[in-house]
């Protein structure tokens, strides 16, 4: 919990530092943007200080937020959709739980077993092993599950009925991707998705 406590070597309390770090990450702002927003509220701090705050406190604040999140469900629904990044075809892998909460999105160049394994590893790095994994009929999912011993006892269901939760929750998944950075297999890459009508390309990313 953020308080008005001041840490040694810092002029501002944790509540202000935390707010600055939250602004930077939540709205994908620049350090200058955050500096100006704080100045409008009577807080004069340099963008260099904000940069240092983000380096020193982002991990700690993020961990605290993860601990406060509700426990995710034990039934994962996964699918993938075609996107274009800089004129190059990519695949946007998506996962939600049975409650419709978005677990993660991941952009990769391929749609093969290695790509599916990478996506599962990404999910398993942040969540407990699920009881059930529901996917479409893409063979890469089954192959990836067989490759990962931790998923040995997971109930894998595939087919149209298994992906209903993803289809019904599509709007919330799109909303979560639209304003933010999308996780990518290429480190430090950022992308912003613009969705086009169904029947055309699923998405364009620029």
pLDDT digits (tens, 9 = 90+) for 74-127: 999 999 988 887 888 899 899 999 888 888 888 889 999 999 999 999 999 888
Q: What does pTM read for this prediction?
A: 0.53
Q: Please list the ranges in the chain whose pLDDT falls under 50.
A: 1, 168-169, 171-206
Fold type of domain 75-205: Nucleotidyltransferase; domain 5 (3.30.420)
* Residue 130, Ramachandran bin (φ over 0: left; ψ between -120 and 50: alpha; else beta): beta
Contact between 81 and 203 under an 8 Å Cβ cutoff? The reply is yes
Domain boundaries, the chain: 14-68, 75-205
**Contact indicator for 205, 90 with CB cutoff of 8 Å:** yes
Q: How many Å apart are CA 109 and CA 113, to the nearest integer? A: 12
Asked if 191 and 107 touch (Cβ cutoff 8 Å), the reply is yes
């Amino acid at each position: 919990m953020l308080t008005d406590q001041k840490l040694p070597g810092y002029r501002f309390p944790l509540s202000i530092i935390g707010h600055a770090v939250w602004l930077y990450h939540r709205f994908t702002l620049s350090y200058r943007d955050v500096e100006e927003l704080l100045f409008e509220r009577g807080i004069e701090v340099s963008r260099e200080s904000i940069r240092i705050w983000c380096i020193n406190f982002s991990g700690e604040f993020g961990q605290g937020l993860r601990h406060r999140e509700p426990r995710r469900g034990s039934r994962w629904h996964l699918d993938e959709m075609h996107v274009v990044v800089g004129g190059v075809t990519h695949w946007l892998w998506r996962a939600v739980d049975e409650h419709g909460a978005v677990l993660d999105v991941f952009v990769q160049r391929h749609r093969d077993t290695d790509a599916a394994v990478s996506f599962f590893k990404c999910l398993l790095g942040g969540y407990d092993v699920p009881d059930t994994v529901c996917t479409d009929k893409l063979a890469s999912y089954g192959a990836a599950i067989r490759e990962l011993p931790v998923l040995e006892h997971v109930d894998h269901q595939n087919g149209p009925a298994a992906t209903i939760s993803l289809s019904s929750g599509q709007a919330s998944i799109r909303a979560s991707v639209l304003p933010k950075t999308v996780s990518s297999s290429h480190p430090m890459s950022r992308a912003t998705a613009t969705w086009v009508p169904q029947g055309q390309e699923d998405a364009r990313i620029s």
